[in-house]
Structure 1
Amino acid sequence: MTIAVGVIETQTFPAVLAAADAMLKAGNVTLVKYDRSESGRQFVAVRGLVAEVTRAMTAGERAANACPGTAEVTTYITIPNPQENVEAVLPIEFTPESEPYRVL
């Protein structure tokens, strides 16, 4: 099983909220991180199997871009099978404690 990380960054909180909601509903993924970047933009990260993260990312991007106003996806990325040193440094906090919150 190849695990992936998906991250969506948006301009506004409502857009990132819509993205997170759509991502969790669209794929069997775990929400592992939400935060603000230094520029004030919002981002959300999910983990799961590559196919599930890909499906979730598509839904999240559409939902964020559909928010009214100036909300838009600034950037997004899916990283299949991230290396252990990437997981140790970057904020993709997938832990055994976060696993029970994955939507099945």
Structure 2
Amino acid sequence: MKKLLLIFITAIFVSCGNKQSELTETRKTVLVELSKKEILNRLKSPSTAKFVDSTANILKLKSEDTLSSYRLTISVDAENTYGAMTRNKYMVIFKDQGGDSLSANNYKVTNVFD
């Protein structure tokens, strides 16, 4: 009986952990797509852009108010003004608007740095 109870409790913890991981990955996907749109608007030749998604990194920033902020860094290869392919790293800061955390409409871009 104790073994059965232990297995049941372990299964609950494992399933909860997987759900949190899925939510985090979905939020990352939303923020990466929003970042790509914002960065493409800033490039000299957006049609040549190739994003290096494997370099995307999200960090939740400390905030003074109750709404969260996130910093996403991502690299992009694109042609510059002279036609040479260059790799640049961008940092995009998002502010959570307090709605559905998996919706693109929930985040507002506050800054973009290259």
Does the pair score TM above 0.5?
no
Q: Normalising TM by the smaller chain, what interval?
A: 0.3 to 0.5
Greater RCO structure (CA 8 Å; 6+ sep): 1
Name the one with the larger strand percent.
Answer: 2
TM-score for the superposition, normalised by structure 1: 0.34
> Who wins on radius of gyration, i.e. which is larger?
2
